Structure 1
Amino acid sequence: MMPNKEAFTKWLSVKKTGFHHRQFLLLSLPLDEAMFFLEAVVADYKDSSVVSNNLCISHVKHIPLTRYQDYLGQQTNSLIFDARNGFHLNALYASAGMVQAGGIIVVLLASESSYKPNLGPLKFSYGYTPKTSYFTDVFIRHVKKNNGAYVDPTHSFFPSSAISSPLKQAIEHETQTNQQDWQLSKDQTDIETKITQRINAKASTGSVSIILGPRGRGKSSLIGHIASRLSAKVNNQNTPVVVSALKKRQLQRFYDVNTASQAPYEANRNAPLEKHAIQKNEIKFYAMDEITALAPPHSIVIIDELASIAPALLKRTISHFSHCILTGTTDGYEGSGNGFIHRVLPYLVSHKNTHVYTLSKPFRWLKGDTVETCLHSLLGYMPNMGSSTRTAHTTDKSLQSKINKDVLHDVQFGIIDKTILVKSNKLYAQIFTLLSDAHYQTTPNDIVRTLDANDCIIAIAYKNSSHINKANRQVLGVAILFEEGGELLSSLKHDISLGKRRVQGHLSPQALSLYLLDSDLCELKYLRINRIAVKHAHKRLNIGTNLLQFCEQYAHSTNVDCVSVSYGFTSSLYSFWLKNDFTMAKLGHRIDTASGTCSLLMLKPLRDIPKLSKSLLQFRLQIERQYLRETHKRLHTLYQSIYQTFKADFMFTDTVHKQFVNKALKRYLAKDINLEKIAPILLWLLTHDDAHILPISARSIQELILRYHEKGIHKPEKCEIEHVVFSAVSDIFRVYTEQDHLFDYL
């Protein structure tokens, strides 16, 4: 049965008349058959964009999947999204926000026979390429439920997107009031007036104004107006207005509105961004990592799309300037949006003269937009589910006590069958709402990976009820688990342990084999806990601990050697994992820009594994402790609470420790590992009393290693240091290595 092209053409022509909601159009067709529909959409909509790495259509703006963030804040009438080799859900969610009211979002889907996820935007763990996409099934079901159109080889459906009469009348009235698309609504005008008045009134003390709201609410348009108004008022006072964002390209709408509001009858809002650079009153752009150094210190600073900027960078910028205006989307998954809520907003409220404004009325699309409703339900953004970050929790104590007793009596644990999960809207919503609330850095792509990855397992704690089927269970807690290591890495283990090979996934075995210089650690079977969360109303009932114990029982039943977890370090989380008998294994060396934390790797072996003994792990951590004290004082300070759990009387006497140092030196002298990997061990050895190295030699090598780790050092100098250190270490230890007596020397 051929797709009904006549019905599609009629549906498309109807959408061009009157006021309509945005709609999804799903095409599950071979590309040659889908081209008829794509060309019709492009012909009917004057402004179209295609998001794809390998699909280009004539006269259509092309947005690479890897650069979708560059286009945040821009607008288009129709969007074609290529998902034939799997979903880049981050990109779909962000780019769908570009589509204006009445527009179409066409999603190209693969047939089951042509699905090739290894060629797609998401990378799955080595050895675990999925054969089918559970997420695609979920996506299709959500689109159909939310008034989406679809075409496949045997069926087609084109529902109406016309809006209701009351909404139509309200839109017609507003359209008559605001003749230009850059003019502000009443809500926007009120905020503009309040912010400009605050800046004028707080000229000496400073102010921070934050405009928040869901996307599509006209935040970029509003700050374009505010910038125009402020620049006109302060031109004679030598107080410049400057703007920043993650990428200048994101400010297309800002510059369009800013220019139009300065000269409403002369501005060409369809001109490219580059044209605005020559406008007389153009607001100067500074990159976020340069603004504090280059912008005049008395500037009024406007920052757009704050959710895509690291909280630490925002703090630094806001502290530097007297007046800042910030806008951004914090609901959903854009960048570090919830990171701003958790880590920056409390700081601003307590340290600066801060006021928060909210825009709630849709500006880019119409009230009741079905595309946004579909995406929110798909991504677990369900305020009515009891969100911990989006709604306040106030529970009566007597009711809480009753809840506690009921839960403790009825709680059960189990592994979720994904075939059941993808067919149950209730189960799906509970799990992913809970995960997105508990872990604010959860991204849309994490949902796709959780459903489609063969190595991913979902464990839940739920309220037991004999009369409720599996699909309708009340979820109290959830854990996302990944299988790692084993025979899959056997042929690669040597190169992995030397840092010469890195495969997708398998975080624990790869990190440990390189860190402990032991290739055999790759072949152990690990179960890594990727996420664990408990509903806010049911915390402090040991549900998390009991869920963890269930995961360990599952690991035992599947012959796993070791349970592992990697997470951003906080004292409370560290205490939780210590309480559950996990051992610290590895300290992270990089501070995450969004959370301001460093990742830790902790282990719980399920049997006696000498290669992962507590003695060896603690010795390795002592080496790291000294290394960070010498090379990264900020990290060293951050980890103080961890150091307090180390043995105070630790001595270098264990044979295991000596063997580890011998192995490291032999690999370095054989040029199997470089200075960067041996540096922590060398620094420890050079300052250890038992090493018997001449003080002058030790001091010289130590100074070179510290210089090697200084910021701003150029590559030629680093190469020279690597050569000098290698020669010096060779002179000291070569004779012992050749005679295989290095162990005795130490």
Structure 2
Amino acid sequence: MISVEESVHSELIEVLKNHFDTQLWLGFETDLKADEKINKCTTQNFRQFLGNETDLLAYNAFIGLKPSALYALEGCIKTSGLLVIFTPFIERWPKHEAHNRGLNFSHHDTHDESLFIKYFCDTLLSDKNTAFISDTDFNLPLVLDDSTATANKGSIASVQNSYLTNEQHLHLNTLTHRYAEQGNIKSIIIGKRGRGKSALLGELYKWGLNTFESVFICAANRKNCDSIFKVIFEAYPNLSSNNVLFVSPDNLHSVDQSALVLIDEAAALAPSIIISAFKRLNNIVIATTEIGYEGSGLGFNKKLKPILQRDKTVKSIELLTPIRWPADDPLEPLFEKVFASHYSKGKTKSFETFSNNHSSVSNLRFEFIDSSNKTEQQIGKLIECHQLLMSAHYQTTPDDLMRLLDSDDQAVIIAHVNNIICGACIVVKEHLTVDEELAQQIISSQRRLSGNLSLQTIASMLFDQNCLTLNCWRVTRIAVLENVQNKSIGSQLLSCTERLALNNNVDLLSTSFGVEAALLRFWQNANFKLIKIGTRRDTSSGHYSGLFIKPINQDIESTTLLLVLRFELTKIYLGELGVLMPTLLRNEYNKQKHYLSTQARQAFEKLVADKTEAIIANELKITNTLEELFFVAHQLQSNSLLILLRKLMIKGNSAELKLTLNQQIIDILESLNMAS
């Protein structure tokens, strides 16, 4: 950690530039130029460097601290490499103007001090391996002996002119033998960073060149595949990256079923893409982490992996041995501690003892922590809550720890017994005070401010700016220890949240999540009402996102009724349109079919036949059906079919149908004396 004035950075940058072969600089947009040795990135595009290796990682904290970016790229540092963090003066950093630049907080959330940055500094500086340099002080740790600062050479075996660890070699043989026995290969490779997942994919690519007619590499970004390319080019020096077949996730559907497809950083892709690829392709191997820094790593582990493993031919393997750094390297465990990625072993044992004592759950005690009592003394509890959320929720990231500690709008209700936290409920307080012009832009959907999701959505739905000034608590997470789930702890947490909301003059509670059966039952049992459902699937969960509300203040029950009515009428409207869809399709098709190729006609006929029954039963969204038809049209490259579908879209969104819906709403509102 280098804590000096920004004006001194240029001198230090020159020193560092001359000492490392490969370098990655995060947040140094204007300080240096990229070249063969130097890579630059921002906190927005850092994911394109996942899977790469570097000797030096330098982070400019003057642009703000983004935990997920730092945690992700820390895993790229090789043996004997160095992480350098340029910070404002340590004693001033928690209150420095940069303390809230790294993340987007809710509109008007202007906390004066960062508890997270104080915790971050204290944790790093208390570690014996952290060097600290400032204008007035320095602390340099002892240099590790060379014998410990080397890779795990004893575990490396020579295989066909390449080098793999014994563990990698074992798994490579397992997968290739599996193909020889059953005629196809479907596998999931998991492991922490630096375990050689990408290198193993590279070896599979080399094997696949002699086994399959074509082998494809896929990732969210081509740059994520550099480690795979390195293995390939070492074996085939005459190849260039242009000779290696790379397919983007959106084009996986075009790959031949018999080809071998290797997907790296799979947790960064939408679950629907992975599921579809596993269903369609005969030979597919994916590699991923499970911690969450690829985008939704925990989502992969908790949601996607169980779905893929329903297919008994799918083989799951895990790489445990670090090869990018030594097994006793201090940086990985230090950052796992800093970002509270999982519980310690001792904590896990205490949970097991607690869960065996069934009577203990009846002695729940609740605690409320918000900006009024969020102090350094509470940091330990908040970190444990974050660890619980990491273990239970697929979308929890290191950024959420910073928000939990720093945001004035975030509060947590904790359930614990005998000092063991067994449940937590995170709420975000929503309330907007804006001028008339901005309010009009929000309700007309021209502007959307950061945070305040529920109130802005409700105000826009009802075209009523008064809704922006309501006091709303949005429940963003509820998590319960796995060993004591299904004991009503989650329901008790929610009941406690309602009581606290009532005592704090809150008007309504809200929540938003990917709608699936179990979650839907939980929230409906708590009398939350669905008022809106999205038209696109959430990337991590693979489900459509729904917005639910529950009035706390009786004065807004009429507003809740209005929102529920609006949603129900929209469903009726879509249902009527759904019944009309097959007829509209058939009429337009009969007019246009002589322009279509035989292949396009057959595909269209089959789709209409398959979808008609489901559409009439109101089981499919109209938009989804149209999207699927458009997909087929693009796949067939049929301009005539695209024109046909565009005409259908115009009919489906006709003013006449919209007026019918609006008139239904007006009729009901007039009967309730709420037409205004």
Please tell me the residue identity of whatever aligns with 1:430. Answer: E
- Per-residue displacement from partner, 1:251-307 (whole Å, max 9, x unpaired)? 1110111121245xxx7xxxxxxx7235xxx431111211221x2321111111111
Deviates more, 1:72-81 or 1:619-628: 619-628
Rounded Cα–Cα distance in structure 2 between residues aligned with 1:720 and 1:407: 55
Please tell me the residue identity of whatever aligns with 1:487. Answer: T
Q: Which residue of 2 aligns with 1:135?
A: 116
Deviates more, 1:595-604 or 1:248-257: 595-604
Deviates more, 1:605-614 or 1:554-563: 605-614
Please give the TM-score of this superposition, normalised by the length of structure 1.
0.73
Does residue 503 in structure 1 map to residue 449 in structure 2?
Answer: yes
Rounded Cα–Cα distance in structure 2 between residues aligned with 1:64 and 1:129: 23
Does residue 456 in structure 1 map to residue 410 in structure 2?
Answer: yes
Rounded Cα–Cα distance in structure 2 between residues aligned with 1:501 and 1:552: 31
- Per-residue displacement from partner, 1:151-201 (whole Å, max 9, x unpaired)? 234432221241585x469846568x7799962111111111221222222
Match of 1:276 among 234, 240, 245: 240
Rounded Cα–Cα distance in structure 1 between residues aligned with 2:516 and 2:672: 38
Residue pair 2:513, 2:545 contacting (<8 A) in 1 also:
yes
Q: Which residue of 1 aligns with 2:604?
A: none
Please tell me the residue identity of whatever aligns with 2:333. Answer: T
Q: Which residue of 1 aligns with 2:613?
A: none
Query: How far did 1:486 drift?
Result: 4.2
Q: Which residue of 2 aligns with 1:364?
A: 324
Does residue 226 in structure 1 map to residue 197 in structure 2?
Answer: no
SS at match of 2:447: coil
C-alpha root-mean-square deviation of aligned residues, in Å?
Answer: 3.9
Please give the TM-score of this superposition, normalised by the length of structure 2.
0.80
Write the mapping of 1:560-639 to structure 2, written as runs, cut at 5 A.
Answer: 560-610=506-556, 612-629=558-575
Match of 1:92 among 70, 83, 87: 70
Rounded Cα–Cα distance in structure 2 between residues aligned with 1:624 and 1:732: 7
Query: How far did 1:125 drift?
Result: 1.0
Residue pair 1:404, 1:541 contacting (<8 A) in 2 also:
no
- Per-residue displacement from partner, 1:556-598 (whole Å, max 9, x unpaired)? 3332211222222222222222232323322232211221112
Does residue 534 in structure 1 map to residue 480 in structure 2?
Answer: yes
Write the mapping of 1:314-463 to structure 2, written as runs, cut at 5 A.
Answer: 314-384=274-344, 400=355, 403-409=357-363, 411-415=365-369, 422=376, 426-463=380-417
Please tell me the residue identity of whatever aligns with 2:216. Answer: V
Please tell me the residue identity of whatever aligns with 2:221. Answer: K
Q: Which residue of 2 aligns with 1:32?
A: 7
Does residue 144 in structure 1 map to residue 105 in structure 2?
Answer: no
Does residue 483 in structure 1 map to residue 464 in structure 2?
Answer: no
Rounded Cα–Cα distance in structure 2 between residues aligned with 1:476 and 1:227: 45
- Per-residue displacement from partner, 1:534-577 (whole Å, max 9, x unpaired)? 22233344332332233233323332211222222222222222
Q: Which residue of 2 aligns with 1:217?
A: 195
Residue pair 1:302, 1:324 contacting (<8 A) in 2 also:
yes
Rounded Cα–Cα distance in structure 2 between residues aligned with 1:560 and 1:731: 36
Residue pair 1:521, 1:611 contacting (<8 A) in 2 also:
no
Does residue 285 in structure 1 map to residue 249 in structure 2?
Answer: no
Please tell me the residue identity of whatever aligns with 2:359. Answer: K
Residue pair 2:570, 2:661 contacting (<8 A) in 1 also:
no
Match of 1:159 among 108, 131, 141: 141
- Per-residue displacement from partner, 1:452-487 (whole Å, max 9, x unpaired)? 2221122212235xxxxxxxx432221211111243
Structure 1 segments unaligned to the other structure (5+ residues): 1-25, 268-274, 465-472, 634-702
Residue 189 to residue 449, structure 1, CA distance change in 2 (3 Å): same
Query: How far did 1:721 drift?
Result: 4.6
- Per-residue displacement from partner, 1:6-25 (whole Å, max 9, x unpaired)? xxxxxxxxxxxxxxxxxxxx
Match of 1:544 among 490, 501, 505: 490
Q: Which residue of 2 aligns with 1:669?
A: none
SS at match of 1:550: helix
Residue pair 2:271, 2:540 contacting (<8 A) in 1 also:
yes
**Identical positions, percent:** 25
- Per-residue displacement from partner, 1:643-664 (whole Å, max 9, x unpaired)? xxxxxxxxxxxxxxxxxxxxxx
Rounded Cα–Cα distance in structure 2 between residues aligned with 1:420 and 1:442: 20
Residue pair 2:175, 2:185 contacting (<8 A) in 1 also:
no
Structure 2 segments unaligned to the other structure (5+ residues): 580-621, 632-641
Match of 1:261 among 223, 232, 235: 235
Write the mapping of 1:158-177 to structure 2, written as runs, cut at 5 A.
Answer: 158-163=140-145, 167=148, 171=152, 173=154
Q: Which residue of 2 aligns with 1:69?
A: 47
Rounded Cα–Cα distance in structure 2 between residues aligned with 1:123 and 1:718: 41
Match of 1:207 among 168, 171, 185: 185
Rounded Cα–Cα distance in structure 1 between residues aligned with 2:626 and 2:192: 48
Residue pair 1:101, 1:366 contacting (<8 A) in 2 also:
yes
Residue pair 2:475, 2:509 contacting (<8 A) in 1 also:
yes
Match of 2:169 among 167, 182, 189: 189
Residue pair 1:490, 1:523 contacting (<8 A) in 2 also:
no
Please tell me the residue identity of whatever aligns with 1:328. Answer: T
Rounded Cα–Cα distance in structure 2 between residues aligned with 1:729 and 1:242: 46
Residue 709 to residue 38, structure 1, CA distance change in 2 (3 Å): same
Please tell me the residue identity of whatever aligns with 1:148. Answer: T
Residue pair 1:460, 1:475 contacting (<8 A) in 2 also:
yes
Residue pair 1:708, 1:721 contacting (<8 A) in 2 also:
no
Please tell me the residue identity of whatever aligns with 2:555. Answer: I
Rounded Cα–Cα distance in structure 2 between residues aligned with 1:227 and 1:380: 36
- Per-residue displacement from partner, 1:60-118 (whole Å, max 9, x unpaired)? 32123221111111111001112213222221112112111111111222344783359
Residue pair 2:65, 2:99 contacting (<8 A) in 1 also:
no
Please tell me the residue identity of whatever aligns with 1:28. Answer: S
Rounded Cα–Cα distance in structure 2 between residues aligned with 1:413 and 1:625: 40
SS at match of 1:554: helix
SS at match of 1:351: coil
- Per-residue displacement from partner, 1:193-241 (whole Å, max 9, x unpaired)? 22122222222xx23122211110011112112211221x22xxx6222
Does residue 43 in structure 1 map to residue 18 in structure 2?
Answer: yes
Query: How far did 1:509 drift?
Result: 0.7
Does residue 247 in structure 1 map to residue 211 in structure 2?
Answer: no
Query: How far did 1:145 drift?
Result: 3.4
SS at match of 1:334: coil
Rounded Cα–Cα distance in structure 2 between residues aligned with 1:309 and 1:354: 19
Does residue 108 in structure 1 map to residue 86 in structure 2?
Answer: yes
Residue 510 to residue 614, structure 1, CA distance change in 2 (3 Å): closer
SS at match of 2:293: coil
Rounded Cα–Cα distance in structure 2 between residues aligned with 1:479 and 1:36: 48
Residue pair 2:151, 2:324 contacting (<8 A) in 1 also:
no
SS at match of 1:487: coil
SS at match of 2:491: helix
Rounded Cα–Cα distance in structure 1 between residues aligned with 2:333 and 2:118: 18
Q: Which residue of 1 aligns with 2:605?
A: none
Residue pair 2:99, 2:113 contacting (<8 A) in 1 also:
no
Query: How far did 1:363 drift?
Result: 0.9
Deviates more, 1:537-546 or 1:177-186: 177-186
SS at match of 2:554: coil
Residue 168 to residue 70, structure 1, CA distance change in 2 (3 Å): closer
Please tell me the residue identity of whatever aligns with 2:329. Answer: D
Please tell me the residue identity of whatever aligns with 1:136. Answer: I
Please tell me the residue identity of whatever aligns with 2:85. Answer: V
- Per-residue displacement from partner, 1:95-154 (whole Å, max 9, x unpaired)? 112111111111222344783359834211111123222221121122223322222344
Q: How many residues align?
A: 609
Rounded Cα–Cα distance in structure 2 between residues aligned with 1:599 and 1:505: 16
Rounded Cα–Cα distance in structure 1 between residues aligned with 2:658 and 2:144: 77
